[in-house]
C-alpha cells in the first residue's frame, strides 16, 4: 500500500474516534444507541370542586433525573391557567382559576417517562437535614437517647437497627421501660413515617420523605409514601408504614419530596384522584430525538435530529449508501463477486425497500430475461446503439406499466411500486448481460446476474437494519471511517478469495 493513502486513512480514523469519544464521554451519548430500560406512561386525573373566588391546584410532576428522562408530557388547560416551576428538588404544576362559580373541574396530566439502568456514579454525601417540623425538642432528645447505643455502628448497621424498631424489636441496648412508653406514645401520635425519619435524623443519617407512585401496570387512587435514607454509598428505600426495605429491582417514580403532598388544593376540594400506569414501547429514534432536542451543545444543535421529520427519513437511508458501496467494493475486490457495475446493486437495494426483497428479485430477473430475449431479436436488425438502447428502455417502462396494472387488479402493492426501480440501470444491465453471454457464455452471464442480485440483497438487508441506521444517523462522522476503509480496500491489489479457490490446484505445483 502507498503511504499517502495509509496516512490519509489513519487521519480519518483518528478524527472519527475523537468525535465519537467526545460524544460518548463528553455529551453522554450511548455507546450502542439502543433502548435500555423501561418506558412508562403516567396519567393523573384529579377531580376538583371549586368553591372560592380563586382556586389553585398544585400537582407534583416527574422530573429528569440521573436514571430517568421525561420524553413527553401533556397538561390539560381548559379555562384554567397552568404554570410549572421548581421548588427545591421538586417540579410543581400550578392550575389556577379566578372568579368562577362552584363547579367540577378536571385537572389532567399525561407523561411518558423512560427509566434508564442505574449507573454506579460517585455521589457526594448529602447534607444532614433538620428534624421533621412536627417533632419538637422533647421528642428530639428522646430519639437521641434511643439511638445513642448505635452511634459507633456503620450506616448500614444503623439502618438495620432503626428498621427493626418499626417491628417492635430493639437492637442492644434496649431502651428503658419509661423511654419505651414515651416512644410508643410518640409513634402512635405522629405515625410510623415521622417516627422513622426522627430516628434517622437522631442517628445522623441523611433521610428524606418521598411521595409518588410504584411503576406497576395498574390504576390507583392513592399515591405511595416512602423514605430514602443514605447508607454511605447510595439511597436506600424503605416503606414508610412498616420500615421494610424495598428490593433494588422495585421501580418507584417520585413526584414530590419532603412533607409536601403530591396534590394540594386551595379554594376548592379534591373529590377524587386517579393514577393510571402502563408500560409503553418507544422507538430508539424518538428516545434519541428527545435527548438531543433538550441539549444545547454545539454538536447536538447541528445534529441530523434537528432536521424536519420528512427529511430525516431520507437521510436515514442516504447515510447507509456509502456503507453499501464499501461492502460492494469489498465483495468485488477482496472476495471476487461478479456484478454488473458498482452502483447497480446499491440502487436495486434502495428500490427493494418499496417492492420487498422477494418481489424485487423476481421483477429484476423477469425483466432482465425478457429484455435479453428482445435484445437477441434486435441483434438481427443491426440497429445503432442509441436506437437499440431506446427500444430496451421502452421495453422496461412497458414492463413496469403492465406489472403496475396487474398489481392494481390483484391488490399487490409491491407490483405497483416497480416505478421506483432504476429503469435506466436495468436497461444497461440487459445490454451488458447480452454482451456477456455472447462473449463468455451463459454460465458466466448467469453467475454475474446472480452475483449482482446477491450483493443487492445483502445491501438491502444492511440499509434496512434499523440499529445501523440509528448509529450512522446519531454519529454521522462514521462516514469518515467508511471513507478510510474504502481507501484501504482501493489499495489492495492482491489475489481475490475466489481466485484462490479457482486456482487452488495450482497452489504448490512446481
pLDDT digits (tens, 9 = 90+) for 436-470: 888 888 888 888 888 888 888 888 888 888 788 88
**pLDDT at residue 249, as a whole number:** 78
CA-based end-to-end distance of the chain: 29
Domain presence at residue 431: yes
Residue 198 belongs to a domain: no
The DSSP output letter for 148 is G
CA distance 73 to 71: 7
460 CB-near residues (< 8 Å, 6+ apart): 348, 349, 352, 353, 357, 360
Residue 223 lies in a domain: no
- Kindly state whether residue 210 falls inside one of the protein's structural domains: no
Cell 455507546 sits on residue: 31
CB 472, CB 480: distance < 8 Å? no
What pLDDT score does 121 carry? Answer: 46
Q: How far apart are CA 428 and CA 344, in angstroms?
A: 9
Instruction: Report pLDDT for 470.
Output: 83
Backbone angles phi, psi at 58, to 5 degrees: -105, 120
For the cut 60, the answer to whether the pLDDT of residue 509 exceeds it is no
Q: How many domains, the chain?
A: 1
**Confidence tier at 333 by pLDDT (50, 70, 90):** confident
Give pTM, 2 decimals: 0.60
Contact 111, 41 (CB under 8 A): yes
Judge whether 444 lies within some domain: yes
Range 24-30 average pLDDT: 78
- The torsion region of residue 343 among left (phi > 0), alpha (psi -120 to 50) and beta comes to alpha
Residue 196 lies in a domain: no
Chain centre to alpha carbon of residue 444: 47
Integer angstrom CA distances of residue 34 from 28, 83, 111, 275, 278? 14, 34, 21, 29, 21
Assess whether pLDDT exceeds 80 at residue 6: yes
115/393 Cα distance (integer angstroms)? 55
3-class SS of residue 88: coil
Provide the mean pLDDT of the chain. Answer: 84
Is it the case that residue 424 has pLDDT exceeding 50? yes
Nearest alpha-carbon partner for 89 in 46, 60, 128: 60
DSSP run (H or E) holding 54:
strand 54-61
Helices (H), 246-382: 284-293, 298-301, 309-318, 321-330, 343-355, 357-381
Interatomic CA distance for residues 103 and 100, integer angstroms: 8
Q: Is residue 429 part of a domain?
A: yes
In a domain, 418, yes or no: yes
pLDDT at site 490: 84
Structural domain of 320: 310-474
* Residue 267: pLDDT over 80: yes
Amino acid at each position: 500500500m502507498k503511504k499517502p493513502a495509509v496516512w490519509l486513512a489513519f487521519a480519518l480514523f483518528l478524527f472519527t474516534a475523537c468525535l465519537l469519544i467526545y460524544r460518548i464521554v463528553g455529551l453522554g451519548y450511548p455507546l450502542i444507541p439502543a433502548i435500555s430500560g423501561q418506558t412508562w406512561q403516567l396519567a393523573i386525573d384529579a377531580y376538583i370542586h371549586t368553591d372560592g373566588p380563586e382556586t389553585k391546584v398544585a400537582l407534583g410532576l416527574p422530573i429528569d433525573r440521573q436514571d430517568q428522562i421525561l420524553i413527553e408530557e401533556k397538561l390539560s388547560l381548559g379555562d384554567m391557567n397552568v404554570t410549572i416551576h421548581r421548588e427545591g428538588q421538586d417540579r410543581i404544576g400550578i392550575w389556577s382559576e379566578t372568579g368562577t362559580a362552584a363547579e367540577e373541574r378536571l385537572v389532567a396530566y399525561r407523561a411518558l417517562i423512560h427509566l434508564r439502568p442505574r449507573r454506579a456514579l460517585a455521589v457526594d454525601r448529602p447534607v444532614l437535614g433538620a428534624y421533621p417540623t412536627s417533632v419538637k425538642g422533647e421528642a428530639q432528645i428522646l430519639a437521641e437517647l434511643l439511638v445513642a447505643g448505635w452511634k459507633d455502628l456503620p450506616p448500614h448497621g444503623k439502618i438495620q437497627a432503626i428498621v427493626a424498631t418499626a417491628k417492635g424489636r430493639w437492637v442492644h441496648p434496649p431502651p428503658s421501660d419509661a423511654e419505651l412508653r414515651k416512644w410508643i406514645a410518640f409513634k402512635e401520635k405522629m405515625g410510623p413515617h415521622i417516627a422513622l425519619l426522627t430516628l434517622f435524623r437522631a442517628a445522623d443519617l441523611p433521610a428524606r420523605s418521598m411521595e409518588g407512585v410504584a411503576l406497576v401496570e395498574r390504576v390507583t387512587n392513592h399515591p405511595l409514601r416512602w423514605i430514602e435514607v443514605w447508607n454511605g454509598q447510595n439511597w436506600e428505600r424503605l416503606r414508610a408504614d412498616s420500615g421494610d426495605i424495598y428490593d433494588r429491582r422495585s421501580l418507584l417514580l417520585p413526584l414530590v419530596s419532603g412533607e409536601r403532598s403530591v396534590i394540594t388544593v386551595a379554594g376548592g376540594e379534591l373529590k377524587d384522584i386517579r393514577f393510571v400506569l402502563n408500560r409503553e414501547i418507544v422507538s430508539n429514534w424518538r428516545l434519541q430525538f428527545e435527548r438531543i432536542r433538550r441539549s444545547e451543545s454545539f454538536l447536538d444543535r447541528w445534529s441530523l435530529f434537528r432536521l424536519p421529520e420528512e427529511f430525516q427519513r431520507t437521510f436515514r437511508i442516504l447515510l447507509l449508501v456509502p456503507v453499501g458501496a464499501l461492502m460492494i467494493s469489498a465483495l468485488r475486490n477482496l472476495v471476487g463477486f461478479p456484478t454488473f457495475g458498482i452502483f447497480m446493486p446499491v440502487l436495486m437495494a434502495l428500490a427493494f425497500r418499496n417492492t420487498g426483497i422477494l418481489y424485487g428479485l423476481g421483477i429484476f430477473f423477469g425483466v432482465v430475461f425478457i429484455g435479453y430475449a428482445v435484445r437477441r431479436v434486435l441483434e438481427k436488425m443491426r440497429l445503432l446503439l442509441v436506437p437499440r438502447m431506446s427500444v430496451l428502455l421502452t421495453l422496461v417502462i412497458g414492463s413496469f406499466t403492465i406489472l403496475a396494472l396487474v398489481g392494481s387488479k390483484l391488490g399487490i402493492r409491491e407490483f405497483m411500486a416497480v416505478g421506483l426501480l432504476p429503469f435506466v440501470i436495468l436497461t444497461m444491465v440487459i445490454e451488458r448481460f447480452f454482451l456477456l453471454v455472447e462473449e463468455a457464455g451463459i454460465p458466466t452471464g448467469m453467475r454475474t446476474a446472480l452475483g449482482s442480485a446477491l450483493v443487492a440483497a445483502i445491501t438491502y438487508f444492511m440499509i434496512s437494519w434499523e440499529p445501523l441506521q440509528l448509529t450512522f444517523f446519531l454519529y454521522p462522522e462514521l462516514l469518515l471511517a467508511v471513507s478510510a476503509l474504502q481507501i484501504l480496500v482501493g489499495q489492495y491489489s492482491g489475489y481475490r478469495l475466489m481466485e484462490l479457490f479457482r486456482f487452488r490446484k495450482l497452489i504448490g505445483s512446481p
